[in-house]
Homo-oligomer: A and B are copies of this chain.
Amino acid sequence: MNPHEIIKSYIQRYIEITEEEADYFASCFETARFKKRQYIVQPGFTAKYRNYVLEGAFRSFVVGDQGQESTIEFAIDDWWITDYNSYIFQQPASMFVMALEDSLVLRIDFHKEQELKNANHHFESFFRIIAERALAAHQRRLISNLTLTAEERFTHFETNFPKFMGRVPQYALASFLGMTTEFLSRIRKRRLHNKS
């Protein structure tokens, strides 16, 4: 499938629209390629795009006072990524979004997205649905962060996001799960000896 077919089938998962509407929706996206380690969002600059990953992988993270990185989100094929606080409010970003691999994305410009939503009730619904789903997912993550131990968080990630395992570097996963690389390493070692 070509990029536009992919995004068409994506939107059709969530709302029922005509072929023409789906084509119009797809036409509002443009493809963009990024090389490994390239930044697509940087603190201080406003996130102009909402990005849908076709190929490759991304990671969004913030950098604390002492230079500690905290991974906010990962995105591989069929996931969205941007700095939502920056994109939604069109304010300077506080996060980095970086390519973890050479990647290909479909992206929509903020203003184009507003046009889409104004033009057609169905598109407004679509963006409402994906926002609600993202919110629900964030709430689930918050719950695991608050209730689980470091090891449980790791197990939870392994079982719920197996496709991400191996795709994302360990230091990035550790900071996503809210622990140090050293501790994640120790967990994996402990596992190897204790279990199975």
List residues of A whose CB falls within 8 A of some B CB: 62, 64, 68, 70, 72, 84-85, 88-89, 94, 117, 121, 124-125, 127-128, 131-136, 138-143, 145-147, 175, 178
Contacts and interface: CB of A to CB of B under 8 A. Distances in A.
Nearest to A83: B139
A136 B72 contact: no
Contact of A88 (B85, B133, B138): B133
A124 to B, nearest CB: 5
A60 B72 CA distance: 23
A145 B131 CA distance: 21
Contacts of A145: 142, 145, 178
Contacts of A136: 84-85, 88-89
Contacts of A147: 62, 64, 68, 70
Contacts of A85: 136, 139-140
Contact of A128 (B62, B131, B178): B131
A72 B117 contact: no
Contacts of A62: 143, 146-147
A84 B135 contact: yes
A154 B117 CA distance: 39
11 contacts: A64-B147, A70-B147, A84-B132, A84-B135, A84-B139, A85-B139, A124-B125, A128-B131, A131-B132, A138-B142, A146-B178
